[in-house]
Amino acid sequence: MHIHPDDVFVDARAVVHALSPDEPVILNRPHAAVRAARFFIEKFPGKSLYAVKANPSPDLLRVLWDAGITHYDVASISEVRLVRATLPQAVLCFMHPVKTPAAIAEAYHRHGVKTFSLDTAEELTKIVDACRDGEGNSARDLRLAVRLRVSSEYSELSLASKFGCDLTEAPRLLQRARQHCDWLGVCFHVGSQAMSPFAFVQALDRTRAAIAQAGVVIDMIDVGGGFPSIYPGLEPPAMEDYFAIIARHFEALPIAYNAELWCEPGRALCAEYSSLIVRVERRRGDELFINDGAYGALYDAAHVGWRFPVRALGDAEGESMQDFSFYGPTCDDADYMQGPFALPADIEAGDYVEIGMLGAYGAAMKTGFNGFGNAQQVVVADEPMASIYDGSRLKPAVDNVVSLR
């Protein structure tokens, strides 16, 4: 069957019924991304940037833009070009602390990027030099953010060891950066899928110490990403609790009275956007050989043992359940997802399975290794397998529901 890009399927079963797909199919739920974006826009006590690396799909970028996300955290010159080409009006912030001079120059001179992050004096010099005009004059409109190293102890995926300057270096770097810009921020990242709002308390305490020692005016605090989604065994507190704690600690910082508060969610804005249909090609006891895996959308399932929700799409659903592990399609032993993934005990080759919550760091990570990696994309109208935004959360501290526009 030929599908038109505007076709909307009811759900995964309808897709299987219509296509009997021989290769994996990515199911996109624009309504879920809109809901996530509206949630951040209405409830986060500051500005929400979308961290593009979580899922750079142009369709998703347009959905988020239409929902009201105006600022985008980009980390490479390819992401700069992609977002600029897709969303000509968007504000781009180049938040990778190690950039090439050519990337900085192209971003600044060609794509209008003014905001850059840094965590060393060398990077500061690089940015200042790359943004000079033809006569060698310094740029007057730079907006710089010094990246602090903070703990990842509350997060499932650490971002603590690679980037960020520590408290002994931060005050001096803030003072130096202040000399090159009229707008200076501090940013950090508590690690991805932060399972407690307390992660942000620790990071903001460290931010306060750095600012107090530096004694410079700070115009922006960027609390980064790390906002969680829901996966089996990873059920975080209500998002409201994160926002409330961040607001309280932000207000207590020694910063400019009109300082801005930013965040850069990746996962939280797109995890619910996509799921994936795979087919069981072979069963060996409690191991299922499926047609996507570690080199496809299931990188995190293989490499960090992430469990994603699954459901069988055949008639077997409702029978007694059993725990399975998955092998992906490539010839590599590492193409293995331990799970456990609970599926009907009588599942067999030829059956289809939907794997949920793959909109962040899933669909975006597919490679063509070993000749696998093709996947058709379609739009479906049903709800994601779990949602942090649909009001179904247990005991949210405050009302967690937003209306769709």
- Give contact residues for ligand PLP (rule: CB under 6 A): 51, 53-54, 73, 95, 189, 192, 224-227, 264-268, 360
**Per-position b or e across 82-95, b if 16+ CB within 10 A of its CB:** bbbebbeebebbbb
Place of tokens 């093709």: 374
Q: How far is CA 118 from the centre of its chain?
A: 20
Q: Whose Cβ is closer to ligand PLP: residue 29's or residue 311's?
A: 29
Where are the extended beta strands (E) located within 245-394? 260-263, 274-284, 287-290, 310-312, 321-327, 336-344, 352-355, 376-380
User: What are the structure tokens assigned to 80, written together?
Assistant: 């700069």
Residue spans of beta strands (DSSP E) within 41-189:
47-51, 71-74, 91-94, 115-118, 143-147, 155-157, 183-187
- Residue whose Cβ sits closest to ligand PLP: 225
The pair of structure tokens assigned to 119 is 């965590």
Q: How far is the CB of 267 from ligand PLP (least distance, A)?
A: 4
**Least separation, in Å, of the C-beta of 115 and ligand PLP?**
12
The residue (of 214 and 364) whose beta carbon lies closer to ligand PLP is 364
Residue 275 CB, nearest distance to ligand PLP (Å)? 18
Minimum CB distance to ligand PLP smaller for 264 or for 335: 264
> Between residues 264 and 351, which has the closer beta carbon with respect to ligand PLP?
264
What is the closest distance, in whole angstroms, from the C-beta atom of residue 366 to ligand PLP in the complex? Answer: 17
Provide, rounded to whole angstroms, the least separation between the CB of residue 261 and ligand PLP. Answer: 15
Question: What are residue 169's phi and psi, to 5 degrees?
Answer: -95, -25
Q: How far is the CB of 199 from ligand PLP (least distance, A)?
A: 11
Judged by DSSP in three states, 37 sits in: helix
Are 359 and 273 in contact, with CB atoms under 8 Å apart?
yes
Q: Which helix (H) or strand (E) holds 122?
A: helix 121-130
In angstroms, give the least distance from the CB of 162 to ligand PLP: 9
| Cβ neighbours of residue 265 closer than 8 Å, sequence gap 6 or more | 40, 48, 49, 50, 51, 225, 227
Closer by beta carbon to ligand PLP, 52 or else 378 = 52
Q: How far is the CB of 192 from ligand PLP (least distance, A)?
A: 3
Q: Which residues of 288-309 are buried (b: 16+ CB within 10 A; e: fewer)?
A: bbbbbbbbbbbbbbbeeebbbb
Question: Please, which residue, 226 or 237, has the CB nearer to ligand PLP?
Answer: 226
Which CB sits closer to ligand PLP, 79 or 219?
Answer: 79
Question: What is the token pair recorded at 1?
Answer: 């069957």
For ligand PLP, give the closer residue by CB, 51 or 67: 51
Q: Is 191 left (phi over 0), alpha (psi -120 to 50) or beta?
A: left
